[in-house]
Structure 1
Amino acid sequence: MTVICMVLIGPSAPGADLMARPLPPDAVKDVVPNRVMTWNICNPCKESNAGRAAEIAKYAPQVIGLQEACVRDVERIREYLRNLHGLVYHVEYGMVLRNRGRCGGAPWSPGSFGQAILSAAPMTDRVNVEYPDGGSEDRGYMAVTTTVGDRPVRVFNTHLAQRRQETVRAGQTRVLAEEVARHGRAIVLGDFNAVPDSAELAGIWSLAVDTDPQCHPASTGSCKPTTDWQSKFDYVFLRGIVPLRHGMHPSPYSDHHLLHADLPA
């Protein structure tokens, strides 16, 4: 019976073992102020949450938006970040479905799947919106107010409909853009499943700029790919904030690269 329960529920969280260990001498121990990041962590990819945490710790963002996230995986990532790397994050979730194939769990209680935001500073005013039409799978956006550097900002995190569903994504970005437009300062993170010159992104481009000043929807723009199949699908859009620096980092733990933006203080 114990074996059956372990198969159904999955392995236990790592916290008990990690809490007893001292931090490694090379632990990061602090976030980089004014740095935000987006990362689709790939699901179901069965990757190591310790490895995912180590990737995040390399760049130690103040805020990170995760897509294709399961609550159970995010909790383990947070524990590894805290106990192995000295990085302490608050978390808020924007779950859009419960799916055992995606997130495990018992048949009668499957795990939750969607978005998450980790922030070194506390977060308030969380909203979680499921798009009226998710396409082939439920999709949505979440938003929180938190501090980046020393200033409050509204942070959005989204994952749009899968490829070849342009009409669906157009409806989703209309919903998202309407809310983003209400804020003079906003950061929009996510996997948009659309290249920069896609018609469905026009409403977002009218409100915000990409963290890479060379990347814009015109054909003359120079946008570096953010996926293993050499497409730019991942964005850090900035509204009312001037981009300063950015970095993009391929990872063995996902088919999407980590994308971070360093913002002015």
Structure 2
Amino acid sequence: MTEIEEARVFGPGMRWLAGAMTVACAVLVGPSAPDALVGGSRPAGAVREVVPHRVMTWNLCNPCEQSNAHRAAEIAAYAPQVIGMQEACAGDVARIRNELARRYGLVYHVAYGSVLQDWGRCGGVPWNPDGYGQALLSAAPMTDRVTVEYPDGGSEDRGYMAVTTSVGGRPVRVFNTHLAERRQESVRADQVGVLAAEVARHDRAIVLGDFNAVPDAPELAPMWALATDTDSWCHPSPADGCRTTTDWHSKFDYVFLRGITALEHHVQPSAYSDHHLLETDLDLGQGVAAAPGTRRKR
């Protein structure tokens, strides 16, 4: 984490205090307490490099009190170039990032897009709670970071973040968002309008996130007008070709692509979240959808 990123998460003049208190609270109340028991050297056969054309989105589930060592292992199995996380506590993201480097040799830069400072979900201390929202990990440096809070978050403040980074050796604008909860369709419609207006400014973009809406939901229409889903069989109408991404058998998680070709994607249920991991391999040299059945490049 850079000094700038730390300052944005923890607040001016509070980093030394937050660091000390986080260590103590991790044992007592933090959602990552089990990680204190995880140690040892990097396992045999550990991943040693990322797949440069692979991206992933994953809602971590919060509060779920899962081990960040287990979360890191799930990510390391795919070793994506870029990972977008939702329902992420800044402290958990830092621990996941450290585990990926220490145990698997996967070194990532981190950018936070937190829109809440939350004691109940993320721990910390009442006067300096941990940041909660979205985060991006990228094997390449990230520039031009923006964090936007939607004018209406619904039952909880929500927003999006965006960075410019490298995927497949080419620069691309990457967005990460989490829309309003279920049964808040009108709120999500306004949020998609804000997000789509920004995505439309870029000829090449990747939009990761939990949209809390099925593919044929009317509020997603502006996104479908700009981009395609990484799954070439998935369309808003009919939507029966879309693979589900949650434990309740709905597709809420998306990798929307604008000006980029999807090679193949994979949806993997996880024991550590109520959302599945969604990862995809991309070809940034073209701007048309790949034909169904394109083989994965590993």
* 1:55–1:220 Cα change, 3 Å: closer
**Contact 1:9–1:106 (8 Å) recurs in 2:** no
Residue-by-residue CA offset, 1:150-178 (whole Å, 9 max, x unaligned): 10000000000000000000000000000
* Alignment-derived partner of residue 89 in structure 1: 108
Normalised to the residue count of structure 2, the TM-score between the two structures is: 0.83
1: CA distance between counterparts of 2:239 and 2:65? 38
**Contact 2:270–2:277 (8 Å) recurs in 1:** yes
2: CA distance between counterparts of 1:66 and 1:243? 20
1: CA distance between counterparts of 2:198 and 2:108? 26
2: CA distance between counterparts of 1:204 and 1:120? 27
Misfit runs of 4+, over 3 Å:
5-15
What stretches of structure 1 of length at least 5 have no aligned partner?
none
* Alignment-derived partner of residue 250 in structure 2: 231
In the TM superposition, 1:113-262 aligns within 5 A as 113-219=132-238, 221-262=240-281
SS of 1:59's equivalent? coil
2: CA distance between counterparts of 1:225 and 1:214? 12
- Cα root mean square deviation, aligned: 1.9
**Contact 1:37–1:64 (8 Å) recurs in 2:** yes
Give the partner amino acid of 1:77: I
SS of 1:172's equivalent? helix
* Alignment-derived partner of residue 67 in structure 2: 48
2: CA distance between counterparts of 1:221 and 1:125? 37
1:258 Cα deviation after fit: 0.3
Normalised to the residue count of structure 1, the TM-score between the two structures is: 0.93
1: CA distance between counterparts of 2:124 and 2:241? 43
1: CA distance between counterparts of 2:240 and 2:138? 31
**Contact 2:215–2:239 (8 Å) recurs in 1:** no
What stretches of structure 2 of length at least 5 have no aligned partner?
1-20, 285-298
Q: How many residues align?
A: 259
Q: Percent identity?
A: 68
**Contact 1:8–1:106 (8 Å) recurs in 2:** no
* 1:120–1:221 Cα change, 3 Å: same
1:110 Cα deviation after fit: 1.3
Give the partner amino acid of 1:61: P
1:12 Cα deviation after fit: 8.0
Give the partner amino acid of 1:158: T
1:111 Cα deviation after fit: 1.0
